Amino acid sequence: MTQTETETVPVTATPVGAQTYAEIVQFYSHHMQLLDNAEAEEWADGFTEDGVFAQNVKPAPTSGRSTIAASMRRGVDRLKNRNVVRRHWLSMVVADQVDAAQVHTRYYAVVFETPVGGKASVYLSTTGKDVLVREDGRWRIKYREINHDGA
């Protein structure tokens, strides 16, 4: 292997233990179901008070739990007005331990969209990266970066 090839090999991180991984997957499952049920404020409670939500399709990140909640509320209300149901399918979660109170995750997410009386279709495919922190005995998102495929 040449020096150039060595530099492109990712550094091996420390995966979280089984208990922590189960907690994170449970957190994500609950988090996405809140969003799919149009519970924007409860969904946003999954972020720290100063949390950040960045997407490659928006010019600037959304910062602060209340601002993230307001932005998501507008989004879920638009869907209700269109009579569309969305389901977020999050999978392939990789979780690396930074320290006892912080984990970095990477995952894939597919969003399905179904118009009332219609057929489900894939609306969006993304990759995500989160910085999760322990806060008040639970996981919360300190920083989220979502990259829409094809954008």
Closest CA to 113 of 143, 70, 84: 84
- Give the structural domain span for 44: 14-148
Number of domains in the chain: 1
In a domain, 133, yes or no: yes
**pTM of the entire predicted model:** 0.89
In a domain, 8, yes or no: no
Instruction: Please give the backbone phi and psi of residue 50, each rounded to the nearest 5 degrees, phi first.
Output: -105, 20
In a domain, 1, yes or no: no
pLDDT for 61 = 97
Buried b (16+ CB within 10 A) or exposed e, 18-57: eebbebbbebbeebbebbbebebeebbbbbbeebbbebee
Closest CA to 147 of 61, 26, 32: 61
Q: How confident is the model over 109-120, as pLDDT tens digits?
A: 999 999 999 999
CATH number of the domain that residue 47 is part of: 3.10.450.50
Q: Which residue ranges in the chain fall short of pLDDT 70?
A: 1-12
In a domain, 5, yes or no: no
Instruction: Give me the percent of the chain exceeding a pLDDT of 90.
Output: 87
